[in-house]
Structure 1
């Protein structure tokens, strides 16, 4: 239950970060660093990051994001399958 709550929170947070960064980019204001966007995805928010990228059309022209985020998601899914297999 705690893991599910964490994943829900971190993915919602990653989604919102993409939207906020896009809005700030349009307005020419201070931006959220790419390192922060990546860190949020790596610690479990890859799905939220990908959904945010597509919804807000943000970072979609950056190859590191368009290919990297799905790669992070695949790694997380493999890790999840491995952990379920290991502990079942």
Structure 2
């Protein structure tokens, strides 16, 4: 049960960050109000780093900012560790 809920949560948060990255790229091209980087990092911290990575490469957005790679990778490793602990503690 908990695994199903976590799976749906991670799907939702990653799709959300992917879409937000696309919206931010759209706004950047048109010189509109942008999504703050702190918000992008916060959503990645909540579990959306895979969506963030996919958004970076699909939209070619924030690819020159090395700290996005580093923080997204740190958050991804952190969440993989938490998932490992949760999944294998229930067995």
TM-score (norm 1): 0.92
Cα contact 1:16–1:52 (8 A) shared by 2: yes
What residue in structure 1 maps to residue 8 of structure 2? 5
What residue in structure 1 maps to residue 34 of structure 2? 31
**1:17 matches 2:32:** no
Shift of 1:63: 1.3
Q: CA RMSD in A?
A: 1.1
Give structure 1 stretches of 5+ with no counterpart: none
**Mean Cα displacement is larger for which, 10-19 or 78-87?**
78-87
Distance in 1 (CA, whole Å) between partners of 2:51 and 2:15 is 6
Shift of 1:28: 0.4
Shift of 1:85: 2.2
For this pair of structures, how many residues does the alignment match? Answer: 88
Alignment equivalent of 2:54, drawn from 51, 56, 62? 51
Distance in 2 (CA, whole Å) between partners of 1:39 and 1:17 is 12
Shift of 1:75: 1.2
Shift of 1:78: 1.2
Shift of 1:8: 1.1
